[in-house]
Amino acid sequence: MQICLDGDHLTVRDEAVRDDWSLRWAHQPDASLHSTRQHPAIAVGDGHSQVKMNQGNFQLRDTQVERIDLPYVKDLTSTLNSATLDLAPAIDSPSYLRVTLRYVNHSWRLQFQALAGKLNRFWLRLVAEPSDRFYGGGEQMSYLNLAGRKFPIWTSEPGVGRNKQTAITQAADRNNGGGGDYYTSNYPQATYLTSRHQLVHLETSAYAVLDFTDQRFTELSAWAIPTAVWLGTAPTLAGLVRLTKDWFGTQPVLPDWLGDGIVLGLQGGTAVVRQRVAAAQRAGIKVAGVWLQDWEGPLITSFGKRLHWDWHWDQEFYPGLDQLIQEWRQQGIRFLGYINPYVVDDGPLFATAKDAGYLATKADGSVYLVDFGEFNCGVVDLLNPAAYSWYQGIVEQRLIDFDMSGWMADFGEYLPTDVQLYGKADPMLAHNQWPVLWAKLNRDALEHTGKLGEVVPFFRAGGAGTQGYAPLLWAGDQSVDWTPDDGLPSALTGMLTSGLTGNGLNHPDIGGYTSLFGNDRTKELWLRWLELGAFTPVMRTHEGNRPAENFQYYDDFATMRQVARLTQVHQRLAPYLRAVMQENTATGLPVMRPLLLSDEEDAQTWENQTSYTLGSDLLVAPVLAPNQTDRTLYLPGGEWCHLWSGERFDGHQTVTVAAPVGMPPVFYRADSTFANLFAGFQD
């Protein structure tokens, strides 16, 4: 039996053949799915999971009780745009799974319904070829091309180091199991695109795995029967990325104020931040915003400088902050803060939430406390409508009404799997859903107060659907080093991969965040991170978890002047960036794009994750290693002009150009409609 998909219609051929069936696109000769008695494409089963969490790091194990292959189509009904297949393990056995194929929202969806009890495991194999390449997977920070590896879909702390062979990862594992691996991510998503121009999404919030290790097939598995698998196709990889807008949503254009300078991440109390903002202005830095993550007060732990999660202005630590915010506003400087969906157990908010029944509980009804590293917090139960409404009110009253123009909407990954949730919801299914709910709550607060499009929260955790709720991502908490899995290069990889699954607006912590085990950032690293930040949608600095031990931009005047210069570069790019953001909103194409989206026929672009295009007309090759004064890079097709010198280069070649600090290799298309704007940088 062959099911052929042609636009929004399907045809079924050889209906009598029930133990050898396939699914293929009319314009492609090879099947996307092929199931036989010897090699069934779909299986279901039963299993038991064991999950341990320590400070957002998870250990997951599965005990498989039974796997039931389903090679036979017992019953089939079809129309012009739908088909229903009941699948069974044998021709004379009952059906175990119903598969309904429908055309919905520019895609075909295989919807699943269990026909037998106690089925909580699922496997689906899609046809692959040895030459296939796979991209996406949410925000993946080690690899652009996912081929040859497995990617568990489970939101978590990425871990420190993220490479089991490095000393820093091993030290983190010995300390608290927090070393991470190549696949650990705040924002994994079971969505990927293929070099054969297919877009695939596994619709489930359960723990899932995208397995690209077998060259004959890709296996999608889940610890639940999924709602559906979505299949889309387009003539190009860029066309596939455009489909993500229809599937998941997209982001509005960022407000002008965010492009009018840099957002300085500062902390330390009123006197300190007032002095540092004034010093930045004296150095010629155009300050668009001041981000005070410690507006609610500091909390010092062995990890470093943390925050007191009670979400009220700490007037002792920041006396007169309300007046300072108004002074900044008059100077064109916005105020940004910090919040997450947890409340510390020694604060008034915790007591209020506990009394009202707004917090997730243990089996005995007591409040479930999560250890965040030397302090404990309650989990606001976002599935409880009353708790959700209450916490939305906290965001509106304590952040928006306090004249915040944005905030880091942190975390969302830490939902334990042994909590009791509203409506007896299964925490194993709620875990991946949690960051999406958190983003939705913030979006609802913006819409309710009329601040959508002006106030910008930014997120690190997410899942399918975050695209339509989160106006901006940031690339998470990288280590303050040059390592490809967790340092500066990983921030770039994360931003590029997240863009392929519909998150078109992203930016990094300039300078990185995590400093542990003697790993402290240098001035050179900070300056190279600054260069990357200048060619992203938003420039924002971070002092890190141990500010006193790490280089800060305000440590010397020469660095402050470099900040001023590159901030001016970012400002001058504002008309172009606005046009690219409008394109992202309209089409789903991200602002930062892997080279393969601009020239997918060129094999040199397929694995390239160290350069990117900003929109279609700027190519950026950031310096990602220490002690470099030049950079070798590949130019895709077209004619390119060096941004700083105007020198012209033909595409489809590797070039080496000077890369002094403050002048990373950047090129623009000679035929760009913004060529006059870009040529102005040569003055």
Residues taking part in catalysis:
410, 413, 477
Distances (CA, A) of 680 to 175, 366, 659, 683: 51, 64, 19, 6
- The token pair at 593 is 């794009």
How many Cα atoms are found within 13 Å in the side-chain-facing hemisphere of 270? 14
Q: Using CB atoms within 10 A of its CB, is residue 521 exposed (0-12), middle (13-18) or buried (19+)?
A: buried
Helix (H, G, I), strand (E, B) or coil at 613: strand
Helix (H, G, I), strand (E, B) or coil at 536: coil
Radius of gyration over alpha carbons of the chain, in Å?
25
Cβ within 8 Å of residue 287, ≥6 positions away: 261, 262, 263, 264, 277, 280, 281, 333
Helix (H, G, I), strand (E, B) or coil at 272: helix
Handedness of CA 143, 149, 154, 158 (dihedral sign): negative
57-69: strand order across its sheet = 57-69, 42-54, 121-127, 217-222, 208-211, 150-153
Beta bridge partners of 210: 151, 220
Amino acid identity, position 496: L
What number of other Cβ atoms are within 10 A of residue 257's Cβ? 17
Where would I find the H helices in 135-269? Answer: 167-176, 237-248
* Cβ proximity of 368 and 342 under 8 Å: no
Give the integer Cα–Cα distance in Å for 3 and 101.
10
Give the strand pairing for 612-614 and 639-642: unpaired
Closest CA to 400 of 453, 449, 439: 449
Give the integer Cα–Cα distance in Å for 476 and 496.
13
Give the integer Cα–Cα distance in Å for 392 and 370.
21
Give the integer Cα–Cα distance in Å for 581 and 452.
16
* Cβ proximity of 54 and 175 under 8 Å: no
Beta bridge partners of 653: 635
Give the integer Cα–Cα distance in Å for 482 and 86.
52
Distances (CA, A) of 27 to 5, 31, 32, 108, 202: 9, 11, 12, 15, 23
